[in-house]
Amino acid sequence: MAKQKEIKTNAMRILESMNIPFKHYTYECKEFTDGMQTADLLGLPYEKVYKTLVTAGDDKNYYVFVIPIAEELDMKKAAKSVGRKSVSMIHVKDINAVTGYIRGGCTAIGMKKQYVTRIEESAQLSDTIIVSGGRIGSQIELKPDDLAKACGGEFADIIV
């Protein structure tokens, strides 16, 4: 029996091209599951798994925020971290058009455009964190500094 070839996502290809080490997790999933369901499926601690949120600023530009799955984005702190007066979540139907990814498979690495990205500063307290691998059913574990390098992100206090 032939070994099934691992399907690489754009995010994984980018990490490999930058020589950034990562661990890839896959899970069976046919449709969107939230971050906590994903962590449960993989048996991962909630504080190690992060979600990627996309917002629109009052200047009509898009901003990306990466926060722990059990936390809530503080819109005022988020806006301040990117030098805006306000940001608001984009509509779910716009995620693919803006990022190139679908809901549940969105990652800050390899979006259609390089958007200003902020990663919750508490991520720096972990050796590694886990983010979407760029498609539903795929997660990648990497060092927080490596995530920042791969997506051009900076760390900031952005949660409630």
The 10s digit of each residue's pLDDT in 101-137 is 988 889 999 999 999 999 999 999 999 999 999 998 8
pTM listed for this prediction = 0.93
What pairing do the DSSP bridges indicate for beta strands 62-68 and 50-57? antiparallel
The 10s digit of each residue's pLDDT in 58-106 is 999 999 999 999 999 999 999 999 999 999 999 999 999 999 998 888 9
Whole-angstrom distance, CA of residue 132 vs CA of residue 100: 13
The CATH number fitting domain 10-156, selected from 3.60.20.10, 3.90.960.10, 1.10.10.60, 3.40.50.1400: 3.90.960.10
Q: Which of 117, 49, 129 is nearest to 78 (CA)?
A: 117
* List of residues 6+ apart from 83 with CB closer than 8 A: none
